[in-house]
Amino acid sequence: MAIHIRTRNNLIDWLGEHTFYRSIARAIQEGQVENLGAFDLSSGPGWIIRVTSEFHKVWYIKITPCQKLGFYGVVLLDHIPWDNWIGDKLDNKLYQGDKPEEYKLLRHKEIHDAETEG
């Protein structure tokens, strides 16, 4: 059966039910969850969710849809690749994330920092 994630709540609920880590599932219920929006990474497009436990442990979790096969993949990330954020290119709050204006600034800052370093 195909899974359709259409809202922020669908996304968070799906992650809480399908994460391999009980600590993340518990943090989703008891801590803070932020949808950072859509990112286009080399592993494919998807959403990144920041989950913060009540003890301040933070996880960055990428959820990637595989529409052809009808499932979603989950990957833990060690950082947020803001230069790959594409939420402002899409006209859907699920893809824009919880704070799109803040994320746009973070993307521009990361791109600018990379240009000045390189």
Which pLDDT belongs to residue 92?
93
User: Over its length of 118 residues, how does the chain's per-residue pLDDT go in tens digits?
Assistant: 456 788 999 999 999 998 889 999 999 999 999 999 999 988 889 999 999 999 999 999 999 987 665 678 899 999 999 999 999 999 999 999 999 999 999 999 998 998 888 6
CA pair distance 63, 3, nearest whole angstrom: 13
- pTM for the complete prediction? 0.90
For the range 29-34, what are the long-range contacts, defined as Cβ-Cβ under 8 Å and sequence gap of 24 or more? Answer: 30/54, 34/97, 34/98, 34/99
Q: What is the DSSP letter of 73?
A: E
Which pLDDT belongs to residue 67?
63
